[in-house]
Amino acid sequence: MATATLAQHAFLKQLGIKAQNSGAYDGAWRKTKGAVLDSLNPATGEVIASVTQATRADYDACVAAAHAAFLRFREVPAPKRGEIVRRMGERIREHKEPLGRLITLEMGKILQEGLGEVQEAIDMADFAVGQSRMLYGLSMHSERPAHAMREQWHPLGVVGVITAFNFPMAVWAWNSMLAYICGNACVWKPAGTVPLCSIALTNVVRPVLEAEGFGALAALVVGPSADVGEPMLHDARVPLISFTGSTAVGRKVAAAVATRFGRTILELGGNNALVVLDDADLDLALPAIVFGSVGTAGQRCTTTRRLIVHEKIAAEVERRLVKAYAGVRIGDPLAAGTLCGPLVTPKAVDEMQAALAQVKKQGGKVLFGGEVVKGKGALAGGNFVVPAIVRAENEWPIVQEETFAPILYVIRAKDVDDAIAKQNGVPQGLSSSIFTLNMRHAEKFLSAVGSDCGIANVNIGTSGAEIGGAFGGEKETGGGRESGSDAWKAYMRRQTNTINWSREMPLAQGIQFG
């Protein structure tokens, strides 16, 4: 079955994907001997290709190789490191089409989103190149005569990057491109549902690194948590772990890494709300709601999960939404015109159905969708569902949780204060947005008494962040920041320097000793 799929999708050959692939790269592909992992197409259930997973020994070898590469790479001037990243970005740009198709084939998001994700990786490389000349410290005034003070930043070492299935390439780029210009190495552990995406992207960028003698900077370990994930959390050779995943797993990651005084960047659950006030431009709001809730089949961390709408216009918004959802085409994510592909696994389908059962039990009313779609022909084995719209209350237990599926809870609010209180009234704090033409309401939403999320938008949806700003959230979202702004500082260690150029030895605070 895998061979037939490979023949059907010739672009896989351009990415170095074979019927059987190694799950470990340490500057060269290792002869792995772990259990065989089949990569499945979520739209058909067919095997795309297989991966022989990394063992604990493979993990140790990859980290050792990455650390050795780091010891040399940290001495390369930052702008030179940026030049290497520039060439990596060019390689990704040259392979944008096949990489985007692979994301769609293996993860299930529609092709436009797959291509958009690869573009995000390209943009991240471009951003990092510029940042490589701007790793700024500070110059400070000393209280002591003839003394100078400054602050500078140095590389950390090996960065462990543990990524989720929903953005199988972009999140690695968010982390790795910054880690590289900062002088670090990376060891990547991808989600087990999308191993081919990580293997393909490694194949695309490794020629650049190998030509410089730094192939191990992009170490890769595809393997089970017991052999790869857990050892990474407890490995003192990996001073920083960047983890993207659920809040439940993130708690364990944070605790394990903190025990050894390591650092974490946590990108965890989101329960994002989009507020629509009674003065909103509904023609503007509607497409943002539909993309935010249906895009990637509801499997983005920034997916719009709660629609908080002013009670005066709630009925009209619901009517428009039901009409818009009825026009959403569900099916093969590689086909033109498809707007909603499959969920990633049959388990994800079951979890959506369980959530819908819970919300009905708690008093919710399904306004549209929620059914499991039984595909026909080539899509017969796919994990397809109809995106759901459900009228609900914010405080219900199931609404307080994040269900990684296309369920949109419609919640009514009395006014802007009630809407903000409901937006903030969940444990998660990633992305939020408000639609209003009232400047006071907009500014209040963005103020200290407004949204408590790491991302707050006005007249734009919750989903689709640009790489220029720092990405991340508060509360149970973990507090991590990746991508733009000054997120680069997380990949470096801060050092304060004091230089005495006098002939005296004055002590700080005027202390006299001796």
Residue 347's alpha-carbon distances to 191, 271, 343, 351, 382, in angstroms, are 15, 20, 9, 6, 12
**What pLDDT sits at residue 146?**
96
Sheet of 218-221: strands edge to edge?
Answer: 24-25, 218-221, 185-189, 158-162, 240-244, 263-267
- Torsion, Cα 146 147 150 156, to 10 degrees, reads 140
Strands 263-267 vs 240-244: parallel, antiparallel or unpaired? parallel
Q: Taking a C-beta distance cutoff of 8 angstroms, is the pair 9, 3 a contact? A: no
The strand pairing partners of 340, in sequence order, are 330
Helices (H) and strands (E) in the chain, counts: 16, 25
Tell me, what's the pLDDT at 378? Answer: 75
Confidence tier at 80 by pLDDT (50, 70, 90): very high
Angle at the Cα of 212 from the Cα atoms of 137 and 488, rounded to 5 degrees: 25
CA dist 242 and 57 (Å) reads 22
pLDDT at residue 27 greater than cutoff 50: yes
* Catalytic residue (choose from 46, 117, 267, 318): 267
Question: Tens of pLDDT along 409-439?
Answer: 999 999 999 999 999 999 999 999 999 999 9
182 is catalytic: no
Predicted pLDDT of residue 464: 86
> Average pLDDT, stretch 58-67?
98
> In this model, does residue 499 exceed pLDDT 50?
yes
Residue type, 456: A
Contact indicator for 239, 158 with CB cutoff of 8 Å: yes
- Give 313-335 as a 3 state SS string: CHHHHHHHHHHHHHCCCECCCCC
- Active-site residue, from 186, 197, 301, 453: 301
- Is pLDDT of 399 > 60? yes
Residues near 46 by beta carbon (within 8 Å), at least 6 away in sequence? 1, 5, 40, 381
- 348, amino acid identity: A
| pLDDT bucket at 1, cuts 50 / 70 / 90 | very low
- Enumerate the β-bridge partners of residue 309: 276, 412
Q: Where would I find the H helices in 212-281? A: 230-233, 247-259
Instruction: Name residues whose C-beta falls within 8 Å of residue 456's C-beta, 6 or more positions apart in sequence.
Output: 431, 432, 433, 434, 445, 446, 450
Tokens representing 202 are: 């490694």
Is residue 240 a contact partner of residue 160, using CB atoms and an 8 Å limit? yes
Q: Does the structure show a pLDDT above 50 at 47?
A: yes
Which of 409, 425, 432, 419 minimizes the C-alpha distance to 360? Answer: 409
Contacts 24+ apart (CB under 8 A), 114-119: 114/333, 117/167, 117/168, 117/169, 117/170, 118/92, 118/169, 118/170
Report how far residue 31's alpha carbon sits from residue 495's, in angstroms, rounded to the nearest whole number.
Answer: 41
Please choose, from the candidates 174, 24, 6, the residue with its C-alpha nearest in 3D space to the C-alpha of residue 106.
6
pLDDT of amino acid 374 = 86
267 catalytic? Reply is yes
pLDDT averaged over every residue in the chain: 97
Tokens of 505: 């030895």
Mean pLDDT (whole number) for 103-108? 98
Share of the chain above pLDDT 90, in %: 95
The tens digit of pLDDT for each residue in 124-180 reads 999 999 999 999 999 999 999 999 999 999 999 999 999 999 999 999 999 999 999
Distance of CA 79 to the CA centre of its chain: 26
Residue 74 clears pLDDT 50, i.e. is over it: yes
Instruction: For residue 422, report the phi and psi dihedrals to the nearest 5 degrees.
Output: -75, -40
DSSP 111-136: HHHHHHHHHHHHHHHHHHHHHTT---
Instruction: Flag whether pLDDT at 4 surpasses 90.
Output: no
